[in-house]
Amino acid sequence: MRESAEFRLAVECCRDSFDGWTGEPATPSHNRFDWQSFLDLVSFHRVEGFVWNALSNRDFSIPRDIRAQLSVAASTIAADNLKATVECATLRDGLAEVGVPLLFLKGLTLASLAYGRPALKAAVDIDVLIDLVDLEAAADLLREHGYRVTIPRSEQALRTWHRRSRESVWVREQPFSQIDLHTRVADNPLLIPGISVRSSSQIVDVGSGQRLPTLATEELFAYLAVHGGTSSWFRLKWVSDFAGLIHSKKPAEIEKLYRRSQEQGAGRAAAQGLLLADRLFETLAKNPELRAELQRDRATRRLVEISFSLLARRPREPTEHMLGTLPLHLAPFLLMPGWRYKASELVGQVGKMTSQFVA
């Protein structure tokens, strides 16, 4: 599948927002550019903030209504991130008071590391990682702050749910906020099993005088690869975050991150992420030997093609068409070789569906 001119511009806008990017600016490829299709695409991929950052001061003509909608979307993203900063600080301090260690995954911390400006990156939730032993204490704190669990549907099923799923979803209606409470970083226990809230970490300045803890770069690289791989990377934002994190790394540093991810159990997800980022952002342009090594694996090439086809197609949620979620269920079976992993993936997917139905 070929990428459209609209998709290519969206990719270039994401690249222009990478921290330290100094290359050619994003530009539409021809005069017949479909701006409405472009708007639909960037809204689906949740990259409006990057697009507005790249295009708002450019000289070429963007239709007035499209410009207005992009401006509003970017302003909304920035405002939401300010609110999220306050909420993250409240969670950090509240959990610290009851002795619960936490790390923030993705979100503001990743935005600061990858783009230098947290206000650009859209997020629909706050991802918090804790230890399973602290689940009840964290749940109590969330309830005190007005949150209720929505996945699973019953709090009585919470601990059972967390045995099969990496996260539960908590929502507060006024003011609205969603927290994905993680007790592990992957649904399949054979993927990155050693990465947890007690792994190496770093403190990141996310603006507004706040500093938040997240995984150290090696662990974060492996986590982002597995997160993207288990969802087949069907949103451009995820690939952009991954590529942005390593954009300023030297070739030897990128290879080291990949080698370390294999020791941590990221499987083919790291190779898939690197090759997909390379296809879109030329991430491995200075790592031709590593690129060739990763491309030699047939299953990895297949994973990349699945993800690229999902990215480049007409933007719509996988649930909006028949069998749309099938690649998201089948592709994870390729992330590691061997029957033991595949059996674990099958048991996990069936168990998760069963738990949600029972809950």
Write the pLDDT tens digit of every residue in 230-253: 999 999 999 999 999 999 999 999
Question: Cα–Cα distance between 16 and 316 in angstroms, integer?
Answer: 25
pLDDT for the residue numbered 321: 56
Name the residue with higher pLDDT: 326 or 38: 38
What are 80-102's pLDDT values in tens digits? 999 999 999 999 999 999 999 99
pLDDT for the residue numbered 320: 56
Q: How many CB atoms lie under 10 A from the CB of residue 357?
A: 9
Its pTM surpasses 0.85: yes
Question: Cα–Cα distance between 168 and 90 in angstroms, integer?
Answer: 19
Q: How many angstroms separate the Cα of 191 from the Cα of each of 123, 132, 161, 301, 344?
A: 24, 17, 18, 19, 10
- The 3-class secondary structure across the chain, one letter per residue, is CCCCHHHHHHHHHHHHCCCCCCCCCCCCCCCCCCHHHHHHHHHHCCCHHHHHHHHCCCCCCCCHHHHHHHHHHHHHHHHHHHHHHHHHHHHHHHHHHCCCCCEEECHHHHHHHHHCCHHHCCCCCEEEECCHHHHHHHHHHHHHCCCEEEECCCHHHHHHHHHHCCEEEEEECCCCEEEEEECCCCCCCCCCCCCCCCCCEEEEEEECCEEEEEECHHHHHHHHHHHHHHCCCCCHHHHHHHHHHHCCCCHHHHHHHHHHHHHHCCCHHHHHHHHHHHHHHCCCCCCHHHHHHHHCCHHHHHHHHHHHHHHHCCCCCHHHCCCCCHHHHHHHHHCCCCHHHHHHHHHHHHHHHHHHHHC
142: nearest Cα among 188, 194, 197, 87:
87
Do 194 and 265 touch, CB atoms closer than 8 A? yes
**Domain spans in the chain, listed from the N-terminal domain onward:** 78-215
Q: What's the chain's length in residues?
A: 359
Question: Cα–Cα distance between 34 and 24 in angstroms, integer?
Answer: 22
**Confidence category of residue 3, pLDDT binned at 50, 70, 90:** confident
Tokens of 221: 């690289």
Do 204 and 113 touch, CB atoms closer than 8 A? yes
pLDDT for the residue numbered 163: 86
Question: Cα–Cα distance between 38 and 7 in angstroms, integer?
Answer: 7
CATH 3.20.20, domain 78-215, yes or no: no
Do 33 and 39 touch, CB atoms closer than 8 A? no
Do 219 and 200 touch, CB atoms closer than 8 A? yes
**Confidence category of residue 300, pLDDT binned at 50, 70, 90:** very high
**Confidence category of residue 328, pLDDT binned at 50, 70, 90:** confident
- Geometric angle at alpha carbon 351, from 169 and 140, rounded to 5°: 30
Per-residue pLDDT at 214 exceeds 70 = yes
